Structure 1
Amino acid sequence: MSTKSAIKVTVKGRVQGVGYRAFTHQKATKLGLRGYVRSSDGNEIEVFAEGNQESLEELVDLLESGPARAEIEDVEWEWADVTDDYIRFAIKY
């Protein structure tokens, strides 16, 4: 069994109203990750995800490209403590 890791990601740019949260939810779920995505500021999306390290790194790569209409200016991420608080990946509003 692989060890679980967690990441916190902030994505800045044109990420609202372009399907970014739905995109993130779909990709994270497909990768078997747990956690959430939510809008944090007018031009920011916050992601917290838990799962295996490879899947988390793949998610970061996907977040850096985003859905077709998004315009990503910056992606900041860091390893975080695993909480085990999540049973699935959710969109928080």
Structure 2
Amino acid sequence: MAIQQCLKAWVYGKVQGVGYRLFCKRRAKELGLQGYALNLPDGRVEVLICGEEAQLQKMIESLYLGPIFAQVLGVDVEPADPRQLAGFMTGG
């Protein structure tokens, strides 16, 4: 069985009001990942994802693309504590 890991990403650019969080939820489900996506007051979207390393890398690649109306300027990623996980949710 593969080791579960968690990553937290902050996505910036035009990522609010364009369906970015729903995009994250759908893509995470396709990849078998858990986590959350929420809008931050500064215009970024915070994404926590947990799962197998290969699937996490695919999700990070997807974060750079986003949905059709998003304009992702960058993604900052760091390891995260799996205790923050509570199933995939969207908020904010």
Tell me whether the two structures share a fold, i.e. TM-score over 0.5: yes
Alpha-carbon displacement from aligned partner over 1:6-55 (angstroms, at most 9, x marks no partner)? 00000000011111000001001111111100001342000011111111
Q: Which has the higher helix share?
A: 2
Moved over 3 A (4+): none
* Structure 1 SS opposite 2:45: strand
Please tell me the residue identity of whatever aligns with 1:65: L
Q: Which has the higher strand share?
A: 1
Q: Tell me the TM-score normalised to structure 1 length.
A: 0.91
Name stretches of at least 5 consecutive residues in structure 1 with no aligned partner: none
State the alpha-carbon separation in 2 of the partners of residues 71 and 84 from structure 1.
Answer: 27
Partner of 2:5: 5
Partner of 2:72: 72
Please tell me the residue identity of whatever aligns with 1:45: V
Asked if residue 92 in structure 1 is aligned to residue 91 in structure 2, the reply is yes
State the alpha-carbon separation in 1 of the partners of residues 83 and 65 from structure 2.
Answer: 27
Name stretches of at least 5 consecutive residues in structure 2 with no aligned partner: none
The Cα RMSD (Å) is 1.3
State the alpha-carbon separation in 2 of the partners of residues 78 and 66 from structure 1.
Answer: 19
Partner of 2:51: 51
Number of aligned residue pairs: 92
* Structure 1 SS opposite 2:83: coil
